[in-house]
């Protein structure tokens, strides 16, 4: 289903927040190293202080500290599970001995949760940390000290949460910018590919048609072997060469983002050249000059077509008549029918095929022209079909093309 039918695409933040309660963004390895070393140093200093300053060494804080170290290491495996384990260790530390390491652990876990977890998880972590700060302070003997302790710890928790949130927003912005750039580059690549296919179609149509007419005219003149036939062939070859040259020059100018001076363009390359009515008449005359009888039928108002539709029909008709010139052979017949209705336009080109001349040396068919016609038809909502009819005539039919 197209994206427009599904609604606007989710941003990177929305996708992350929709990932679930336990979702988290992978932390930078360098940050984890700093957190692990920092906490380890803090715990080591506190244990050393307890050993030196206290007459009796209590194993409780050391055990809680080692569990906290295990919690920090667990952060390397899963942030949300590590934070949850850290909350449990902080609660346990309230009863078996708590010190500076527990406050540092609380600040680290709060900051990391704010940095890389979903909204529900990080806000839940903040609420639990504030409750823990109150419980930590209540267990102090002096009321004034407890109040200062709560204010300091809760303030530190809020600051850690704010710092983590600031880095999270900066990370989200950077990741979103990277994604937007990737999407723009992907769209550019698609557009470039489509433009290359369009240029390839136009080059095929321009070169194949005019070179075919030139080659077939020279062959027809050789078959007739009269002065008049040679004069006619030279005239047609000259006109076809001039049209092909001007078309190629115009296309190269577009590729170079340049403009062709008006005096450099012959009347044959004016806007009317890509008009399907003019094209039908010109192509019919070219086929007639090759000894192919043409029956041209136009039903409806071709002037009601937009320029883009008319140009597309022109190129498709050009390809059809090129194939007719290559494969029909002298004495064949070709029927060109264009029908314009209220909303759509259709076109068919049918020609008889002389079997002995269908596979003349040097006249291979790559199928690029038919694929190009199919692409053009689909671009305007139409359908192109090709094949032999019940009378063994080759037929190309384009239907359902929207007029505008």
Residues 292 and 404 in one domain: yes
Per-residue confidence (pLDDT) for residue 165, from 0 to 100? 93
User: Same domain for 24 and 167?
Assistant: yes
Q: How far apart are CA 21 and CA 86, in angstroms?
A: 17
Domain boundary (145, 161, 184) is at 184
Residue 241 lies in a domain: no
In this structure, are 35 and 155 located in the same domain? yes
- Choosing from 165, 184, 203, the residue where a domain stops is 184
Residue 222 lies in a domain: no
Any domain includes 225: no
> Has residue 221 been placed in a domain?
no
* In a shared domain, residues 283 and 396: yes
Residues 282 and 157 in one domain: no
Q: Is residue 217 part of a domain?
A: no
Which residues, in sequence order, are CB contacts of 118 under 8 Å at separation 6+? 16, 17, 19, 20, 21, 23, 24
| CATH label of the domain that carries residue 286 | 3.30.565.10
Domain count across the chain: 2
Domain final position from 160, 184, 208: 184
Full 3-state SS string of the chain: CCHHHHCCCCCHHHHHHCCCCCCECCCCHHHHHHHHHHHHHHHHHHHHHHHHHCCCCCHHHHHHHHHHHHHHHHCCCCHHHHHHHHHHHHHHHHHHCCCHHHHHHHHHHHHHHHHHECHHHHHHHHHHHHHHHHHHHHCCCCHHHHHHHHHHHHHHHHHHHHHHHHHHHHHHHHHHHHHHHHHHHHHHHHHHHHHHHHHHHHHHHHHHHHHHHHHHHHHHHHHHCCHHHHHHHHHHHHHHHHHHHHHHHHHHHHHCCCCCCHHHCCHHHCHHHHCHHHHHHHHHHHHHHCCCEEEEEEECCHHHCCHHHHHHHHHHHHHHHHHHHHHCCCCCEEEEEEEECCCEEEEEEEECCCHHHCCCCCCCCCCHHHHHHHHHHHHCCCEEEEEECCCCCEEEEEEEEECC
| Residue-by-residue pLDDT tens, the chain, 404 positions | 444 444 456 788 888 888 888 888 888 878 777 777 666 666 666 655 555 555 555 555 556 556 666 777 777 888 888 888 888 888 887 877 656 778 888 888 899 999 999 999 999 999 999 999 998 888 877 888 888 989 999 999 999 999 999 999 998 988 888 888 888 888 887 877 776 676 666 666 666 666 777 777 777 777 677 777 777 777 777 777 776 777 666 666 655 554 444 444 433 344 345 788 988 998 898 888 888 899 999 999 888 888 888 888 988 898 888 888 888 777 889 999 999 998 899 999 999 987 544 443 333 455 667 887 888 888 888 999 998 888 889 999 999 998 87
Based on the fold, state whether residues 151 and 46 are members of the same structural domain: yes
d(CA 322, CA 325): 5
Q: Which domain holds residue 362?
A: 274-404
Distance CA 310, CA 111 (A): 64
Give me the pLDDT at residue 247, please: 67
Does 212 map to a domain? no
Residue 355 lies in a domain: yes
* Angle value at C-alpha 4, between 3 and 5, nearest 5 degrees: 90
Give me 98's structure tokens: 């708590």
Decide if 246 is inside a domain: no
The radius of gyration of the chain from alpha carbons, rounded to an integer in Å, stands at 40
């Amino acid at each position: 289903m197209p994206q427009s039918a599904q609604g606007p695409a989710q941003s990177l933040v929305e996708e992350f927040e929709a990932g679930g309660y336990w979702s988290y963004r992978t932390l930078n390895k360098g940050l984890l190293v700093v957190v692990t070393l920092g906490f380890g140093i803090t715990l080591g200093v506190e244990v050393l202080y307890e050993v030196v300053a206290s007459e009796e060494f209590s194993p409780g804080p050391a055990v809680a500290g080692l569990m906290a170290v295990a919690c920090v290491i667990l952060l390397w495996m899963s942030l949300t599970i590590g934070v949850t384990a850290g909350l449990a260790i902080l609660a346990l530390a309230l009863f078996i001995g708590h010190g500076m390491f527990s406050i540092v652990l609380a600040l680290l876990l709060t900051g990391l949760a704010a940095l890389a977890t979903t909204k529900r998880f990080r806000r839940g972590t903040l609420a639990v940390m504030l409750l823990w700060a109150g419980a930590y302070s209540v267990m102090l003997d002096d009321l004034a000290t407890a109040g200062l302790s709560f204010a300091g710890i809760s303030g530190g928790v809020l600051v850690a949460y704010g710092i983590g949130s600031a880095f999270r927003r900066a990370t989200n912005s950077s990741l979103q910018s990277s994604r937007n750039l990737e999407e723009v580059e992907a769209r550019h690549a698609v557009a470039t590919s489509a433009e290359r296919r369009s240029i390839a179609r136009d080059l095929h149509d321009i070169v194949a048609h005019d070179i075919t007419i030139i080659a077939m005219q020279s062959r027809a003149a050789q078959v007739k072997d009269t002065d008049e036939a040679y004069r006619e062939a030279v005239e047609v070859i000259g006109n076809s060469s001039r049209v092909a040259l001007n078309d190629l020059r115009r296309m190269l100018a577009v590729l170079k983002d340049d403009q062709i001076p008006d005096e450099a363009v012959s009347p044959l390359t004016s806007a009317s050249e890509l008009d399907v009515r003019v094209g039908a008449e010109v192509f019919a005359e070219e086929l007639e000059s090759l000894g192919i009888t043409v029956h041209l039928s136009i039903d409806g108002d071709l002037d009601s077509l937009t320029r883009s539709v008319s140009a597309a029909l022109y190129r498709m008709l050009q390809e059809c008549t090129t194939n007719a010139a290559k494969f029909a052979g002298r004495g064949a017949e070709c029927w060109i029918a264009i029908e314009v209705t209220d909303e759509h336009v259709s076109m068919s080109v049918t020609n008889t095929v002389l079997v002995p001349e269908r596979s003349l040396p040097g006249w291979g068919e790559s199928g690029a022209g038919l694929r190009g016609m199919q692409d053009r038809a689909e671009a305007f909502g139409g359908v192109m079909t090709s094949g032999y009819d019940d009378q063994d005539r080759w037929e190309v039919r384009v239907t359902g093309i929207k007029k505008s």
